[in-house]
Structure 1
Amino acid sequence: MSPYFKHVKEAWQRRHHPNMLFLFYEELSKDLAAVVRRVATFLEKDINEEQIEKLCDHLNIENFKKNKSVNLEEVTKLANGNLSFIRKGQVGNWKEYFDEEMTQQAERWMADNLRDTDLTFEQINT
């Protein structure tokens, strides 16, 4: 979890290694089935369309939010009881929480931390 950029940049440097698969959440949001196929290929697993469909249903954000294994229910109960670890699953949803100053601050933070790399995060309008 931390330090975020150190971990991300280290992985990005190894993105061409045969044992590294680098994915972006935006890819999942655009075409989950394509990402499932890509992961299956990476893992050298044969997968049919029915399995892809089942996986996509299982990984659908609404079903994912209901999965007690990933939603950290016990932790969120301690915090407030009404929180969910998994939020909306919408690319760019952070904009609903940031004002202009916070947005500029986050963009500077990203630019500063990615200055020495060719890694970019896709900007998708929501």
Structure 2
Amino acid sequence: MEKAPRPTLFDFHGVSMTKYFTENWENTQNVEARPDDILVATYPKAGTTWVSYILDLLHFGRICPERQESIPIHARVPFLEYGIKSQITGKDLVDQLPTSPRLIKTHLPVQFIPKSFWEQNCRIVYVARNAKDCAVSYFHFGRMNSIQPEPGDWNTFLRDFMEGKVVFGSWFDHVTGWWEKKQTHPQVLYLFYEDLIEDTRREIDRLCSFLDLSLSVEEKQHVVNRVKFDNMKHNKMTNYSTVPLMDQKVSPFMRKGKVGDWRNHFTVAQDEEFNEYYKQKMKNSTLQFRTV
């Protein structure tokens, strides 16, 4: 069977997008959020699946252990804006979720979040990852995911990433837009991928506090063990091996899960140019990242 052509990028209200995230736009924007919904918001490749799995275990690991073995994470935590013609949309999956709270994921920049999430004062967990590791991970994701535009070679992709010519737009705008929102909106918890790597248990404690969850020491440790990278990489319910759109022979969906892998990709010249560009783009923000 012939492969469908890769989608092309276009400007959508100032953000680079593809048809797979805009064709169902009106329905997505009209989603009816509920007060206990929990939204996981990230720029792509910033730990979305990781935090989705943590939240699912915290809420349902004890009361529905069987769902952990039978329902893939992308069905337990649907992707809100996803919409391919002839396939069930993310919004439909959200509407059909049987759980309470509903766990929902999105890569939308803050200005695109459907208004009902703000009106219902939903809790939102935003996860940010340093730009260099994010760029590397996004590059490999583009190589293996047939609904991403062709990434080109690493040098081409890095240039596109810096200029925001990738799906969901500029990393800089995304992380700073959500950071600014968090300053005035107490229902946004802003987490860092690097902190999760450094001390998963500490960040799980923060999540429990934010979500008003009471788990025992043993229950929290069980979650920590389940969400270790190697365990998730070999778990068919979390490693996206059930998704035919992704060719894991090209690159695994869960590749390395490390901080600092960018050093294996950036040349000295690329690093110097990126650092200069980064300084300019982030000069007005208080947001600080770690790249090691």
Q: Same fold (TM over 0.5)?
A: yes
Show the counterpart of 2:270.
102
Show the counterpart of 1:19.
187
Alpha-carbon separation, structure 1, partners of 2:285 and 2:218: 39
Is residue 2:187 matched to residue 1:10?
Answer: no
Q: Is the 8 A contact 1:114 1:120 kept in 2?
A: no
Show the counterpart of 1:76.
246
Show the counterpart of 2:283.
115
Q: Is the 8 A contact 1:15 1:22 kept in 2?
A: yes
Pairwise CA distance, 1:47: 1.3
Q: What SS is found at the alignment partner of 1:71?
A: coil
Structure 2: which 5+ residue stretches go unaligned? 1-43, 45-167
Q: Is the 8 A contact 1:37 1:47 kept in 2?
A: no
Give the AA of the match of 1:66.
H
Give the AA of the match of 1:76.
M
Structure 1: which 5+ residue stretches go unaligned? none
Show the counterpart of 1:67.
235
Alpha-carbon separation, structure 1, partners of 2:271 and 2:232: 28
Q: Mark the CA change 1:101 to 1:64 in structure 2 (over 3 Å): closer, same or farther.
A: same
| Alpha-carbon displacement from aligned partner over 1:41-71 (angstroms, at most 9, x marks no partner) | 1001111111111111111111122234543
Alpha-carbon separation, structure 2, partners of 1:117 and 1:12: 9
Show the counterpart of 2:206.
38
Q: What SS is found at the alignment partner of 1:75?
A: coil
Q: What SS is found at the alignment partner of 2:189?
A: coil
State, as a whole percentage, how many aligned pairs show the same letter: 26
Rg larger in structure: 2
Q: Mark the CA change 1:120 to 1:61 in structure 2 (over 3 Å): closer, same or farther.
A: same
Q: Mark the CA change 1:45 to 1:109 in structure 2 (over 3 Å): closer, same or farther.
A: same
Show the counterpart of 1:87.
255
- Tell me which protein shows more strand as a share of its residues: 2
Of 221, 225, 235, the residue aligned with 1:53 is 221
Alpha-carbon separation, structure 1, partners of 2:231 and 2:269: 34
